[in-house]
Structure 1
């Protein structure tokens, strides 16, 4: 067999052949593996983008900043061994992540609306904002030191423009806070600031390329948890917190106690007189002895009763029905006086029991020229549990001021009577009422008293709010987790007999 001679290339020729067989630059995924600067700066830039520019759509204003804080935390965690400023930035980022994610969880609890909860929310919000500013200062100084170590900056004259761009972030956020303080409503300056923010982020992204060309080696600080494990851990904490909020923190605490049976013979006699005049016995049985005795010597009783299925108010599916009973009792006296009762009863149970709210439009507020308040609004709640009648006061009952907005009247400040409460999930015959007394100012005016009942139809809302908060902040309409049911007691007192409007 012929033997062919083969001459092995020398070292120079071998290096040339090897170089020609390789691509000019490695693929991006390989580059990111061998140049940690690019991966860290991508995390940092995306984190700053998500926390700096928020979208008020579909709850993204809550979730995107939370993701942004996590990305910033990962980036600072990898950089924490580079210099003291970046180590401080890592600790500040941890504080900010805890504050933002803590607010995410508290948003699932109604407890945040209590004075203690509002204090905690204020502390977390303030801590998050301060940590955000501190994070930017640490980033500015930390990256400037990195560039010095890499030989990109000579001496001590690192300017704001020639530097990493992180210093401009501090200026940018200071300008943003200034616009918030003066309540700037224009469009030109915010658009300019968005453009400036994007340029600053691009300058930060370019820093990774600069550091690669210098040959400065970044050695990410070792961590017990990988980025993926850290993300999973925080996600589990978030899910558990939200589940606890929706499962246990979406209701108003109530003080339910066994109802005391009536033992006053005078009250029993007045009850019989009122029943004989047409006062509904089911409503009469719910009143306290003091409320019944306040109707002693009644001249007339006017009753309006309607069943109000929630489907009649645009709610899809079987969602229960309310029976609204309005009762007016004319009291003795020289001037005409009426004691009014607005009673509700769930005749068909609802699918979900969360929070409830009643907005009362009393006669003296709707028609102040004809009627004046004689006695303030009172009332209570009742239900049946394990064969026993239980009662509770409203969690809140009184007047509140709020800003109302309508397509007809625009924005206006209003002050109305509200009752806020939760009904038991395991109970029957859930019901309640409000009562007040009015006195005639001028003759000839109708009686017009409205009850606006807000019922929570679903647990799925974020942030979680009560029916009272949802109604006062809804402006042009309640969100999909609440339904509004309305009824009115309306009649002309000078008619004999006085008959409610619509029931002639």
Structure 2
């Protein structure tokens, strides 16, 4: 007679320890680094934010069943990923400066900062529970240090007191906290504590493709439909007359700038007929009080022109 032995099933909340906590936490830490790093380089900042949030989402997706705090990290990151699609679409339009300088843009920035802070706090509490569940002795204070670091960064940004030395100190502290969290994940992996078992409907690759596709569709739509102002062009009924051309040539020879000359009507040109001297005064005015969220100062270029006629002292 053949005998069969029933092997008890593994606990449903656990799976094979590969990938390990070290691998998943490395993904999360890279996501934190890339999504926090700010570089004033066109397109690079957006690319880093996109990659950082994608890594964060995939990392927290793998550990969301471990405890309620890591699940909250997953939810907060998912909200940030969803919000990134309309933000990228808005950045491809002509309305981005108008939005970011409005009250709604200010509230959006506050909400984004709150989500980051809530994610860091939940990560700290989640790692504390993971430490108890795994039985490791490694400290999780570095995760709490990230919360303090981000609050300090936000306060210094509001006050505007971050110099070069302060920026260097902040970077060193941030890297140190990330390294200590990485060491904690190594200890959890060495203890043999496995990742939660998940039933994934979509693989990481397909999720990344879907997220990328949504971003590209939003950016393409914003660029194609809202990247320029509508213009009501009107064709001239007749070509410029010889008199108009003659006056323009005379003014141009006297130093009248073409940027203004081409905008003059026929009546304006006739008023300048017989010009003897042209004086040009150009200057640029900056509006620091209307500085945009990305640090750009709006500027207005002004051109003042004086025309002296033969029969009048000056016009």
TM bucket, shorter chain: 0.7 to 0.9
1:178 aligns with 2:155: yes
State the Cα RMSD in Å. Answer: 4.3
Check 1:148–1:185 CA distance in 2 against 1; reply closer, same or farther (3 A cut): closer
Shift of residue 148 of structure 1?
A: 0.4
1:146 aligns with 2:130: yes
State the distance in 2 between where 1:149 and 1:96 align.
29
Partner of 2:116: 132
State the distance in 1 between where 2:162 and 2:250 align.
47
Partner of 1:240: 217
Check 1:117–1:474 CA distance in 2 against 1; reply closer, same or farther (3 A cut): closer
More helix by share: 2
SS class of match (2:248): strand
Shift of residue 307 of structure 1?
A: 11
State the distance in 2 between where 1:40 and 1:215 align.
14
2:79 to 95, 111, 135: 95
State the distance in 1 between where 2:158 and 2:69 align.
30
Gapped regions of structure 2 (runs ≥ 5): 1-15, 273-278, 291-295
- How do 1:257-276 and structure 2 match up within 5 A? none
State the distance in 2 between where 1:196 and 1:78 align.
27
SS class of match (1:54): coil
SS class of match (1:232): helix
State the distance in 2 between where 1:198 and 1:116 align.
30
Shift of residue 59 of structure 1?
A: 2.9
Check 1:184–1:115 CA distance in 2 against 1; reply closer, same or farther (3 A cut): closer
1:496 aligns with 2:308: no
Partner of 2:168: 191
Partner of 2:13: none
State the distance in 1 between where 2:267 and 2:52 align.
62
1:107 aligns with 2:91: yes
Greater mean deviation of Cα atoms: 184-193 or 137-146? 184-193
- How do 1:342-491 and structure 2 match up within 5 A? 403=286, 473=298, 490-491=306-307
Shift of residue 94 of structure 1?
A: 0.9
- The answer to whether the 8 A contact 1:47-1:69 is kept is yes
1:43 to 27, 30, 35: 27
1:205 to 182, 192, 201: 182
- TM-score under structure 1 length normalisation: 0.47
Check 1:250–1:86 CA distance in 2 against 1; reply closer, same or farther (3 A cut): same
Point out the structure with max Rg over C-alpha: 1
Shift of residue 114 of structure 1?
A: 4.8
SS class of match (1:491): strand
- TM-score under structure 2 length normalisation: 0.72
Q: Write out per-residue CA displacement over residues 459-492 of structure 1, whole angstroms, 9 at most, x where no aligned residue.
A: xxxxxxxxxxx9x7479xxxxxxxx9x9875421
- The answer to whether the 8 A contact 1:303-1:325 is kept is no
Gapped regions of structure 1 (runs ≥ 5): 1-31, 154-160, 262-274, 283-301, 314-320, 331-337, 341-362, 368-400, 405-411, 415-469, 476-483
State the distance in 2 between where 1:95 and 1:226 align.
19
State the distance in 2 between where 1:233 and 1:58 align.
24
- Residue-pair matches, total: 278
